[in-house]
Structure formats: structure tokens, C-alpha cells
Chains A and B, each alone.
Chain A
């Protein structure tokens, strides 16, 4: 026998021996896990974003199995994930519809005046700590993307002009961005709400107008135009009562600074509105 054969035999025997050893160990020391755990891990979003409050997706799923967390544990995954988890757990998904994130500001570099030149860390939280931010408006979005960096589904985009856009189809309403915005500009609004206020400035009209071209100047025209008493100017900024609003859009027509806007319906809504006509 040549040396090659000897070596192959010896190594083969060794491999077989350890293989058997491993197989015995596998059977002998098997850790029993709930087979649903793997299924659940498939069902949740799986980005380990931490929005649910658990250290990661696996502990969250374990909590579901232990009955500590509800089927709607995956905050970032939204309705879809909740349904999938509910199917695995064999219960009804009982989850109210989640809102969608809205940034109450549309002023980018072009619209909103700066008050200072900022050199420092590229994050809103850091910029806000230095002299209250570089924007002349004390309330507006700084556009450095702290919200973007925490979004688990990449629903927020920021363009070169530091204007931000929320992809309403992608947004699952987890609320992570709401927590991190240093200026508390982000709110979760009902998914079917299309008429929205895009400003949060509490400055009086004249002052707000001086620093931003797309701000609420608290002129109250919308308040007067609304037939349903749904829009009110509170603290120098218009606010919509979503319960009363019928989305007629009269306020949009009268707004002199285009702070009130109508957004495109989400994909889900389009589907919903098509369904009855087809039937």
C-alpha cells in the first residue's frame, strides 16, 4: 500500500470515529427547543432593532412562547408580522392598526434659514446639543438623519437639501424615530389620514416667517375654512383633530404658506378603496 492510501485510511478512520462521537453527543445532549421558535424567528422582521424592548429577535420570540409578550411583539414588523406570529401561536391577531410616522416639518436648506455654521458630529441629537441647533427655527427638523439611522425598515430618506421623506408604504409605525428625534417632531398619525400639517413651530407668525418660507404663521385661515371644527391653531401652529377631519381639503386651499398638504394614499389604502368598486 502506498503512503497515500495509508494516510487516507487513517484519517478516514479518525473521521468516522469522531463522526460517531458527535452523533452520540447530539442524541445524548440534545437541547429541547420549541420547534415554533424557529418558525417565529422566520415570522418576525429579524433585524434585531430592539424596538420591542427585548435585546433581540430571539429573546422576543422566546418571550412570546413563554406568554410574556403578545403576538404583536414585533413592533417594527407591524400588522403582517403580528398575523404571522398569531398563526404560529394559533391565536387571533388582535392588533389595532398602527399609525404611520409623520415629520412635522418640510423645511430643508433652501426653505429654512440657518443661524450658524455647524461643524461637528453628523447627528441631530449632537447638533441640537450645541447652541440649540444650527437652524434659525428652534422647532424645525435639522435633517441630519438620527431618525433615518434608527429606522429598521429604511422608510426614511433624506435628500441633499436635507428634506426628509417618509415612505408611508414601508413605515410600520414602530415609533423608534419618535423616541429619538431631539426636537420631538415626529408623530404617528392614522394610516388613512391624508391631510397633514407639516410644521411644528411655536413662534409667532412674523418671526416664524422670517426664518422659514414653509412654516405655519398661525393666520387661522384653515380654522375658519374648516366646516367640521377639525383644525385648530394651538401655540401658533395648526393641529388637526383626526377624529373630526373628513379630509375635504378646504384648509389646504386657503393655506398661504403650503403647510397643509395632502399626501398620496398608501398601497394598502389603494387596494382597500379599489376592492369595493370591483365587487
Chain B
């Protein structure tokens, strides 16, 4: 059985790279993060429309109180992670690099919870619609890093029956250990959350997917699993196994069609952190106001897996872990493969922040890169998990040949960075592809507008001809 599984898996898995795992904080238990005196809660922490503030300067807010919401379907409300007073609502630095409208709250240290937050009645016999409503109100988004609003994922159209809920415990990014610790310490919460998701989408199976590099997590989850259609699936230890589409392919052996979603092949993928957050929401009523953040790297004195309140300033979290050690070269929020380097440590921890990695100057690539020339070695093609041709995407994007990018399925690129990681000439392929995506989509919009204009003009001409 074992060898057959291994063979099947190795046939299904295509591409990927093996960056050093560097799970420095794997042995450190999850502990509470700093208790901030001031939090910065950005009104845009998710994919989709930004929220409108619901509070004003000078208002008193309570822990778990909704402070921002949007009418848009693809959006999620944000909540206060402390109780205290709103000191300002203005644009502050955000991990994305741009300033974002943010609610600044000074904490009174009491953590007085907002009224009306309490455990829900048995969620496993609740109507799916009610579960979705509560998940949305709880501000739950995908905590794996993509921060896609979870209530949208939980609403598959009726012609897309969901067969399996895949719980994503791959955590393939190097350094990050939050999900791993969560599986070791709170396996029951994850399973409870997964069951609520299963109830909401009407699926039968729950598959918990874990990389083979974490045998302790596999053992812990196997122990926590009761026997009702919940199984543990062992993934090969290759980056990017945790990416949604790759995961569906490895676990179910089905390929998500180009431009499609996992729901097109009967699956829904949720991170273990998201499952735990849903479980907490239904057990205690507390919306998403904290998340697990891994602090690691050689530029920070300590290493930890902290449950940090959303809105805590990164500098405070680093100081809490013993501060910087040595001359910092880069501070990265998220994993080293897909995370974003920051220009200031005064950005807040958001729902997307899975890790705070600090690297010393010598240990991280931060000098002026030279001239990049593709030598057509084809390594990126072999490593691309989406079967794309990154070198061509990069070249066409560099040359501004947007029209060609469509035939190369540029929008299927998930920017995992495997191509840039393996490239021997250190060509910044992901950056080029990002530029290409924007250029291509811009061009497409322009052409559509032109075509519309032309057809309108033709119609006008026709009408004029008729009247004449």
C-alpha cells in the first residue's frame, strides 16, 4: 500500500523546488503575543473590497467589536482586537507597501468583550446559510496567506457539488511553523472547524493533508481523528504543495481547469488555521482578532510561535521576542518564498501575516542585481507546478508583448516563485510575470473598450442609414 501510494504521488506531483526547510521554531510551543498599548487595524486585510469604517475618532470600542464592513460580497468585516478608544482613522503603512486606511485604537488593557458575543448553538445541526452568515460576520478569511473571504468559499453554486473538504496543513513555506504547532496542540479545534465547513458545503469527506516532513503533526492528527469520514493524507515534502490547486491535484488526482477554482472539481481547500478560527468563532463567539505568527530568522534574538492580536505593530512583536540581533538586512512578512519584504517595521500584523522573518545583512540577497539574461536552460519549465513556461512569460513581459501572454496562460501563474528560485541567472521571473499580468489585463480591457466603441459606431451608422 505504502509504495503504491508513493508511486502515485510522485507521478502526480509535477515541478516544485526544495528550499531548505529551516523550521527553526518547530519545537516552540504557541504562546500569547505582546499586549499592545496601541493597535493599527487596516480596513483592507483580505482579497476583495476594502471595508468602510463603522466607528469614529473618539469612540470607545470593545474587544471583538466590528469596526469596519463593506456591502460588497467579496469582502470580510474587521474587528477590534482590544478594548479602548479610537484615536484616529487615517492612512498608515500596510504590509502591502502602500498606505491603507487604518483604525488606530489605544488599548485600555481591560479587554472588555463586546456584548452579544457568545457560543453558537450546535453548529453541526445548523443551516448552511446560517453558518455562512456567522463566518462572514466573524471576519474569517483564509489564513494560509491568500486571505480570501471564507464565506465566499463556503457558498459553492448548486451545480458544483462539493465532495471533499481538504484541510491544508502542508505549510510548505520554509521557516513557518504556525500551522505545524497548531496541529500538534489544537488538533481537536481543527477537526471541529473542518466539520463545520463540511456541514456548510454538504460534503462527505474531510481530508487533512500534511507534508511528510512533519511526522509528529501526522501522528497528532491521526490520534485526534475520529472515524467518521475524516482521513489524513500524507503529502510529499515539496514546495509549493500547500498551494490550493497543487494540493487538489495531489490529494484527489484531479486538475483544476485553467481559470477555475477547486470547487469546479468538487473540492474546497481551507487552511488548518482557518479551521481553528472557525471552531473558535462557534465555540466562544469571538471573531477573528488574533492569529498565529511565526517569528524566526537569524536577525531576531528569539524564535517563537505567537498568538498575536491583529493590529499589533511588527516592531513590538520583534521586541517581544528579544529584539533584533545584528544588522538587519530584510524583514519579511509571510514566508521567504511568497512573503513581502518590508521597508518599515511600523506595519501592523494583519490577517495575512503568517510569519515575521528577520534576516541579517550577510545572509540574505540584497545587493544590486546585474543584468539578467535567460540562457534557455529550461529549469523553470521543469519546476513550474502549473505547467507553464516561465522563461517565455518573463521574456514577453519584459518586451511588452502582452498579446502573446494569453496563449501562455499567464493568469494561471500563482506566483509561487519556484522558477525564480531555481533560475541560474537569478532572473526575477515572478516580478516580470506580475508586470506581465497587469500589462496583459490592461491591454485586454483596452481592446474590449475599443471593440465596444467600434460596434457602437457601426450601429449608429446603420441607424443613420435607415433614417436616411
Contacts and interface: CB of A to CB of B under 8 A. Distances in A.
B446 A126 contact: no
Contacts, number: 54
B369 A120 contact: yes
A133 B96 CA distance: 11
A138 B98 contact: yes
Given A119-B366, A119-B368, A179-B442, A138 B99 contact: yes
Interface residues of B, number: 28
A138 B435 CA distance: 18
B431 A120 contact: yes
Interface string A128-162: 01111110001000000000011000000000000
B202 interface: no
Contacts of A120: 369, 428, 431
A126 B432 contact: yes
A82 interface: no
A179 B449 CA distance: 13
B340 interface: yes
Q: Which of the four size classes fits the interface of chain A?
A: 20 to 34
Interface string B358-372: 000000001111001
Interface string B84-100: 00000001000011110
B373 to A, nearest CB: 13
Contacts of A138: 98-99
Given A131-B341, A131-B342, A179-B442, A123 B435 contact: yes
A126 B435 contact: yes
Contacts of A117: 366
Contacts of A149: 400
Contacts of B96: 131-132
Contact of B431 (A129, A182, A203): A129
B439 interface: yes
Interface string A110-126: 00000111011101011
A119 B367 contact: yes
A12 interface: no
A56 interface: no
Contacts of A134: 343
B249 interface: no
Contact of B340 (A131, A133, A150): A131
Most chain A beta-carbon contacts within 10 A, residue among B96, B344, B435: B435
A53 interface: yes
Nearest to A136: B343
A129 B99 contact: no
Contacts of A129: 431, 434-435, 438
A150 to B, nearest CB: 7
A277 B434 CA distance: 56
A179 B435 contact: no
Contacts of B340: 131
B109 to A, nearest CB: 30
B431 A116 contact: no
Contacts of A125: 435, 438-439
Most chain B beta-carbon contacts within 10 A, residue among A116, A117, A121, A132: A121
B450 interface: yes
Interface of B: 91, 96-99, 340-344, 366-369, 372, 398, 400, 428, 431-432, 434-435, 438-439, 442, 446-447, 450
Interface of A: 53, 115-117, 119-121, 123, 125-126, 129-134, 138, 149-150, 179, 182, 203
9 contacts: A119-B366, A119-B368, A119-B369, A120-B428, A121-B428, A121-B432, A125-B439, A129-B435, A203-B91
